[in-house]
Structure formats: C-alpha cells, structure tokens
Structure 1
C-alpha cells in the first residue's frame, strides 16, 4: 500500500507506518537537519527508510499533491505542534505555524483511503476545545474549504451546519476518531501522551477502534514487588526498591494483572555501556556520547531508572531539561545520550541522527515513538486489507 508522510521530522511516525507495510511515495519536511537525518539513513540503506524517496525539503504550502490523487492509501503526519504545546505560547489558530489546514489540503488533493495524524496532548485542552472541533470537522469534510477572507470561526459554523443538515452523498468525507494515547500503555518505555486522529473514507464503510492497551503500571509494580524484574536485570540489592509514591498502590494489588508490565528506562537502556566513562564498548554505538552539565533542582529531577521515562522534550526554549535526564537510584543525574533517547522513542540502534546533541534531542523530542506508530498503522492497514470486517481487533 502507498502512503505520503507530511511533517516527517526525524521519521518516527513514517518508520512505524513503513513497518506496518506502507510504502511512502512522498516525504515532506521543512527542517534541514531532519532531512539530513533521513537522507543519511536513506543513503546508507539503513532500517525502514532505506527505500524511502528523497525527502522534499521545504514549506509544505509549496507542495502540490494533486499528482497523487486516487493513488494513495494513507496520509500521515504530525502538523507542527508549537501553537498547542503546554510549553509553548498557546496562540493556536492565530499562530502562523498552525499547519492543520495544509494537512487537510493534502487529504483534499490526494483523497486517500485513510489518514493518521498526531499532535501534542495540549491540543485537547479546554482552551482549544472549539478549535479542536474545527480541526475534526475540516478532516471530516476536506472539500468544504474556507474562503480567502473567512475567519476560522465563520468556517466552523459553515462546517457545523453542513454536518447537521447534510442529506445523501456529501462528496469527499471521512469518519474520524481521536484519542489521547499514553505510549507507556502500548509497551513504549516512556510516559508520552499524544492525541492521535484516524480517519477512513466514508465510502469504505470501515468500522475501526484504537488498538487495546497492552501494558500497565500495575503489572510493572507486580513484576517489581513479586516478579523477577530485579533478578532479570541483575540489579544491586541496594537498588531493588520502587518509588515511595507507588508503595501503597503496589500493596493493594490482589492478583497478577493480565497486561504486560510497563517497560522501564532500565528495560530500554540497561544493556548500553555507561557513556560517562567513554569506554570502547560505548563507542560502538552510534550517537552514544556523554553530554555534561546535567543538574537537579525542583521540577528538573530526571527520569527514574525503574519507571518509564518522562516525556522527552524538544528543548525549543533552550537545552532540554529534567525530562531528558536519567535519575539514578543513588540520586545522581546525567543527560540521556542521543542513543538512549532513541531507545526511549523505539528507534532502531542502526538509525543515525544528524546534528549536534541539542539538535538531535530536538528531533527526538518532537518524534512519535516508532513502535506506537507501528501499532496504530498496522491496525489501520489490516482494516484496509479486509474492508469493513468487524472481527478485526
């Protein structure tokens, strides 16, 4: 099946989609460092981008998608999230960086069978509730375009009237669902919440729901208090304890959960050599170099080794903070290396990142975990393969 990847970044979402069986026909990204990362891995034939087309570097507003009309099964992407980020300026629809209209234009011009878009959890804040509705209705009816002088509020009213008053065929239409997904609940070693939108063209009559969660915090606590977590990792006796805030919850567990345990930071990076010593073994891993300067203070405390990592941040306002630090059991901290951060985002070890540490951390902080993208895209593909069959999970 064929796809188009918009706002590709370092390729996390696109790689997961490729792993699910989609072949990208176009990859669009404006940032040159991200494009260099994709190019380097593409040139070396590495991993899931080895057969990607040359990325289109530039403003998506300058890209004409009409040559792909009727030829694309899936459009994916993460429209720039700065307008809605909890750490941003919250300008939302007044922000020129809002690329949602361009994502909708790609749907209008290609008419894919389905799409997957994602964005920061901040988009679901009550402050943005009305604009959130506008985004969903735009994706539902991509052909109903705002006029050149039409405000988004006026356009929203037009979409609402069309939605409530339509009769019979409505042109290009998608059935859209959205949900905030916590990556940790799907086996990613990071507590990362993103809102994901999935839509299927209405003429396909496909019934779909988000994949069931497979991992849980309770299962992690069970594994750490009554399972073999510590033995499996050959942890020192002094380190074999859970966080104080979790003790009561662990004691209340009256049976082994049916889900798998949350994957912890130790699960993800425990086999990597300590980069602080710059051993010969550490040098064998791409982008696994010690970054000095980490320090802890209130609100900047790092990710505990034996829990999923905190959400990696892009550091758009400077050097990434505590969310990009490892908190060791002895209370000391250090910055995650690029390779460790890539592990937390489930990028393969042979994937190389282009740029300085701060730049590559920005790429990773903006990325979608590869495995989470794979899980969602795999479910979408199965439904496209089998049509409206309701037996699919």
Structure 2
C-alpha cells in the first residue's frame, strides 16, 4: 500500500502528545462527568429543564424541489451535509464515497436507495478508477478534508497528508462533469495558501471556469457562526456566466451583536430573521439570544469528545445563553435528566444537528462522539442547498 494511502487511512487514529497536567485534568473532568451521568441514569437527580420542542425546522430553509435531472456524485460525503442539500434541491444521487465507516451507516439509514461506498475497502477515493463514471455524472460535489487549512489542524496545507485536493481534482479531470462544487474551511482564503490555491486547485482544474466565494451559514437561517469557502466550476463559459453567488435569504444582523439589537433593528431588512440558539431550540426567553459559536469539527481531532466547544471564547458565548456545550447526550430525554453546571440547558445530538441545519428526520449513526463528529465536519445542508439551486439554474 502506498505510504500516503496508509497515512490517510490512519490519520483519524493519530496519537497526540499532551502534558501530564493536562492528562490529569482530562481524567478528573471525565471522572466527574461519569459519576454525574451515573447519578442521572439512576434517577438521583430531578430534571432541571423540560424536554424542549424546537421552533426551527431546517426543512423550511430548504423546501424540497422537483427533480432537475442533474446527476451528482459525492466525494468525502461525511454525515451528508452536501448530499442532503443537493438532494433537497432536486439532484439525482449517483453515489457517495466516504472513508469513515460510520458515515456510510448514516447515509444508508437516511437514504436506503442510495449507492454509498464507505470504509477503507470501498470508500477510499485514492483507490477508485473514476473512468467508470464517465458520461454518467453531471456534477461532482465534495469537501476535501479541511484540517490541512484549519487553525485546529495547524494549517500545514500541502505538507499535511490529509490534503485530498489532488484526489478531488483527479475525479473531476477523469469524469469531466458539467460542473463541480467543492467546500472547505475559510482558512483556505488565508494569503499563505494563495499559492496552493493557484497551483493545486485552479491550475489543476484549468478546463473549468471557477468562481470562489465565502458563505456564512447564518445568512441562510442556520443559527450558528459558520463561515466557509466554496469553489464552483463550470465546463462551459455559458453556464459560468449564468451562475450567481447565493444571496442571503435571512437577516442575521440582530444576532451579530445582540447587545446592540435595538440599534441594528433599525437597519433590518425585509428578509426573515435568523433565529438565535434559544429560540431555534424552543427554550424559554431569558432576554438574551445569539448565534451558536462554530461547532467544533472533532471527528478526527485530538481526542474523541462529547463537547461542541471550539474555544474559550465559545465557552463564554454558550454560558451567556445559559447552555452547557459539553457532555452532549444521545437524546433530549437523557439531556433533560442529566443536570449541567449552573443548571444550564444540556444539549442533545438532535439539538446540535439542528444548529448545523440538519432536520430532525436526518438520523446520525454511531455513539454520541461519532454523531457530533459527523455534524461538526459537515456542510450546513441549507447552505449546500442554496449553492445547489444556483448551480442548477446555471446548468439549465
């Protein structure tokens, strides 16, 4: 097996060095959490908050469209953020490829009729001969692993063995679809990667007319601070000229800085307002609400975790909303029966999925940390939906 393939397959199981102090702290926190959870399971605590009924339905952010006849192939499918967005926009699913096995379980559970290839034996894109798909695919979409360009991933770029842009390019250049859509973290817009973008993306896909742009999930009704970059390419100049970058569908201005809400309301647009976290989750009004801090992408991170916390600043933001971002539970009933510090609201997997734009009907397979990993690594489906809609118009 080539070295790069071996490292690619095992990157999710890397060992990370931490200090003895940190290790002891993690043990202490884990022990405290384990005992508290055990007490909750034994009914030694009263429920601190009622089981919540969300007010936001992400399906409303991406109404199901009629089939448009465009055949889409998905690479690096993960938990299905892009796949779901394109599906809701009327695309015909051809196949999905994903290295992490549990993601295949998620995709098949939600769309049993889909062709899904997962795990190191069939989901490893480095092993696929894409010639079999020539003439059968109109569009390729995917999010090559973002860790090489994220701050959390140390921004090693080309030197990071998780960089899979070359494989995405290989699929596009072999199949030669009418269009492609690629998504990545905002770090790829950093000037330090301009040379990489030019040499290893734009020049490698020089048969396509490409537009690069940024999208913020909250501009499309998703109650989270989440900015991502998209690369959209078209085989013909005609389709390229017809494509427009999706305009915001929602107004997030009152949530950008909730303390200035009254002032910002004076400049609000006629677009529907993006809900804050508490409103979206159906929690009582406490006089303060805001967007969720960026949900961490920890599926292949430094340690498996049931936390969505991304930074110390995020801890304060969650705290201001009286929400506990650690120890996420499998369902709302378990979250309700497991008191969090300061009597804050404890999140469930469904709550976190909703804050990423996944509807209740999209079930995530695996343990809690695996479900959270799939959520945090995904594209917000309503954002994918808006891109997919405009690409379909351009190809019509």
TM over 0.5: yes
Q: Secondary structure at the match of 1:351?
A: coil
Aligned to 1:322: 309
Q: 1:204 to 1:56 in 2, by over 3 A?
A: farther
Aligned to 1:384: 395
User: Is 1:260 the counterpart of 2:263 in the alignment?
Assistant: no
Equivalent residues in 2 for 1:271-286, closer than 5 Å: none
Distance (whole Å) between structure 1 residues aligned to residue 264 and residue 99 of structure 2: 50
The partner residue of 2:347 within 336, 343, 350 is: 336
The partner residue of 1:133 within 181, 190, 198 is: 198
Q: Deviations over 1:220-263 (max 9, x none)?
A: 58xxxxxxxxxxxxxxxxxxxxxxx6434633654542333122
Q: Is the 8 A contact 1:188 1:344 kept in 2?
A: yes
Distance (whole Å) between structure 2 residues aligned to residue 254 and residue 40 of structure 1: 46
Q: Is the 8 A contact 1:84 1:120 kept in 2?
A: yes
| 1:321 Cα deviation from its structure 2 partner | 4.8
Q: Secondary structure at the match of 2:240?
A: coil
Aligned to 2:24: none
Aligned to 1:191: 225
Q: Any unmatched runs of 5+ in structure 1?
A: 42-48, 142-172, 222-244, 273-303, 386-393
Q: 1:382 to 1:321 in 2, by over 3 A?
A: closer
Q: 1:365 to 1:255 in 2, by over 3 A?
A: closer
Q: Secondary structure at the match of 1:260?
A: coil
Aligned to 1:152: none
Q: Deviations over 1:183-220 (max 9, x none)?
A: 10111111111111111112545311211112233355
| 1:305 Cα deviation from its structure 2 partner | 6.9
Q: Deviations over 1:26-51 (max 9, x none)?
A: 2100001111222222xxxxxxx243
Distance (whole Å) between structure 2 residues aligned to residue 128 and residue 29 of structure 1: 25
Aligned to 2:105: 36
Q: 1:342 to 1:247 in 2, by over 3 A?
A: closer
Q: Is the 8 A contact 1:312 1:365 kept in 2?
A: yes
User: How many residues are paired up?
Assistant: 293
Distance (whole Å) between structure 2 residues aligned to residue 139 and residue 21 of structure 1: 29
Q: Any unmatched runs of 5+ in structure 2?
A: 1-69, 324-341
Aligned to 1:89: 154
Equivalent residues in 2 for 1:241-256, closer than 5 Å: 246-248=258-260, 250-251=262-263, 253-256=265-268
Q: Secondary structure at the match of 2:107?
A: helix
Q: 1:37 to 1:178 in 2, by over 3 A?
A: same
Q: TM-score, normalised by structure 2?
A: 0.68
Equivalent residues in 2 for 1:72-151, closer than 5 Å: 72-141=137-206
- Report runs of 4+ in structure 1 exceeding 3 Å deviation: 203-206, 245-250, 252-256, 323-335
User: Is 1:350 the counterpart of 2:361 in the alignment?
Assistant: yes
| 1:134 Cα deviation from its structure 2 partner | 2.1
The partner residue of 2:213 within 179, 184, 189 is: 179
Equivalent residues in 2 for 1:163-312, closer than 5 Å: 173-202=207-236, 204-207=238-241, 208-218=243-253, 246-248=258-260, 250-251=262-263, 253-270=265-282, 306-312=289-295
Q: Is the 8 A contact 1:139 1:176 kept in 2?
A: no
Q: 1:122 to 1:259 in 2, by over 3 A?
A: same
Q: TM-score, normalised by structure 1?
A: 0.69
Q: 1:329 to 1:311 in 2, by over 3 A?
A: closer
Q: CA RMSD in A?
A: 2.5
Q: Which has the higher contact order (CA 8 A, sep 6+)?
A: 2
Distance (whole Å) between structure 1 residues aligned to residue 288 and residue 150 of structure 2: 26
Q: Deviations over 1:64-116 (max 9, x none)?
A: 11111122111000001111111112211011111000001111111100111
Q: 1:307 to 1:13 in 2, by over 3 A?
A: same
Name whichever structure is richer in helix by fraction: 2
Q: Is the 8 A contact 1:104 1:138 kept in 2?
A: no
